[in-house]
Amino acid sequence: MRIRGVVPDKARRFHVNLLCSEEEGAEAALHFNPRLDESTVVFNTKERGAWGQEERGHGLPFQRGQPFDVLLIATEEGFKVVNLKILEEIPKKIQKN
């Protein structure tokens, strides 16, 4: 999935959830949450209604008022988050039934 945009000047955070279904309260295979107010990116999953252990990325490639272009790539092992380079590799946690 390719995500392009511009971070608003007053933004503190934004998030993208890759959900496993369209149902209310669906599991999230990936929660991608850049937090400008904490200078980090948080990754997580939601399984059986509960959020998992947060994982924090290395650095923050987003700046207020600046454009960004990110790829979220699903692999057999999990996800790759790419912004001109691999920023983070997140292991898969939700197994297929």
Question: HEC profile for 37-51?
Answer: CCCEEEEEEEECCEE
pLDDT digits (tens, 9 = 90+) for 61-79: 899 998 888 999 999 999 9
- In the numeric block, which tokens belong to residue 58? 């290395």
- In the numeric block, which tokens belong to residue 80? 């790759």
Domains in the chain: boundaries: 2-95
pLDDT reading at 89 higher than 90: no
pLDDT reading at 86 higher than 60: no
> How remote is the C-alpha of 82 from its chain's centroid?
11
Residue type, 21: S
Residue 92: predicted pLDDT: 81
pTM attached to this predicted model: 0.81
Distance between CA atoms of 26 and 13, rounded to whole angstroms?
22
Residue 13: predicted pLDDT: 96
Domain 2-95 indexed as CATH 2.60.120.200: yes
